[in-house]
């Protein structure tokens, strides 16, 4: 059986990517990251989704002492965009410097260690907040890193870096989640990390857009 390491944040995109990988018949190991984010609530969702999928979850704790993002508590107010157009027009303060590079590097190390065939990430380059590490060109570059920077890569067997939702809009993702049986009610998207979604941050607005349009 093929194996995959799935980056699972607990949001609808990563959860849909996990269920997509399972639908391919892969045995999945989920990785979630506790890196000091204010929306630590997402880790509970990641655990719940992994249990529902029948997959093992490992939570990796990281210390990023330089912070550099409003996603860290005490690092400034979260942006409150006035429209979806505004979301697409800038790289917001919620951008965590090189976050996907850090996460993918750890996932790639894990994949090589356990002999996994793929690393799966729920990144999206259509309805997203403009992060540079969510673009197709970025993933093409990271595939080159996987090929040149790992033992299995130089032997011609690099772990595939797969972003199955990369070119889908949020409505398409929601419909795919429904088809795959994703427990959407267990997922969490809000950046604020409160008891209830704030309904005003980028993640909340994009999630709402997806459900309305689907």
Listed by start position, the domains of the chain span 3-213
Q: Which of 50-59, 156-165, 199-208 has the lowest mean pLDDT?
A: 199-208
Topology, domain 3-213:
Rossmann fold (3.40.50)
Query: Is 15 flagged in the annotation as binding?
Result: yes
Query: Is 30 flagged in the annotation as binding?
Result: no
Query: Is 165 flagged in the annotation as binding?
Result: no
Confidence of residue 74 (pLDDT cuts 50, 70, 90): low
Phi and psi at 188, nearest 5°, equal -140, 130
**Beta-carbon count within 10 A of 64 CB:** 16
pTM of the model: 0.95
Are the beta carbons of 100 and 134 closer than 8 angstroms? yes
Query: Is 94 flagged in the annotation as binding?
Result: no
Query: Is 54 flagged in the annotation as binding?
Result: no
Query: Is 110 flagged in the annotation as binding?
Result: no
Query: Is 185 flagged in the annotation as binding?
Result: no
**Over the stretch 141-162, which tens digit does the pLDDT of each residue have?**
999 999 999 999 999 999 999 9
Query: Is 10 flagged in the annotation as binding?
Result: yes
Query: Is 109 flagged in the annotation as binding?
Result: no
């Amino acid at each position: 059986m093929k194996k995959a390491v799935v980056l699972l944040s607990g949001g609808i995109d990563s959860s849909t990517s996990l269920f997509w990988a399972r639908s391919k018949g892969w045995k999945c190991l989920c990785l979630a990251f506790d890196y000091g984010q204010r929306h630590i609530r997402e880790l509970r969702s990641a655990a719940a989704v992994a249990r529902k999928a029948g997959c093992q979850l490992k939570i990796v704790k990281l210390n990023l002492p330089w912070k550099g993002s409003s996603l860290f508590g005490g690092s400034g107010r979260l942006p409150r965009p006035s429209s979806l157009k505004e979301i697409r027009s800038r790289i917001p303060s919620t951008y965590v410097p090189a976050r996907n590079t850090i996460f993918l590097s750890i996932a790639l190390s894990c994949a090589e260690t356990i002999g996994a065939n793929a690393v799966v990430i729920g990144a999206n380059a259509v309805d997203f907040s403009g992060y540079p590490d969510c673009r197709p060109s970025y993933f093409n570059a990271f595939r080159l890193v996987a090929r040149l920077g790992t033992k299995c890569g130089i032997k011609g067997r690099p772990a595939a870096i797969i972003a199955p939702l990369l070119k889908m809009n949020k409505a398409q993702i929601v419909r795919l989640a429904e088809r795959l049986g994703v427990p959407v009610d267990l997922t969490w998207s809000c950046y604020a990390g409160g008891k209830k979604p704030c309904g005003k941050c980028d993640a909340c607005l994009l999630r709402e857009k997806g459900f309305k349009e689907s």
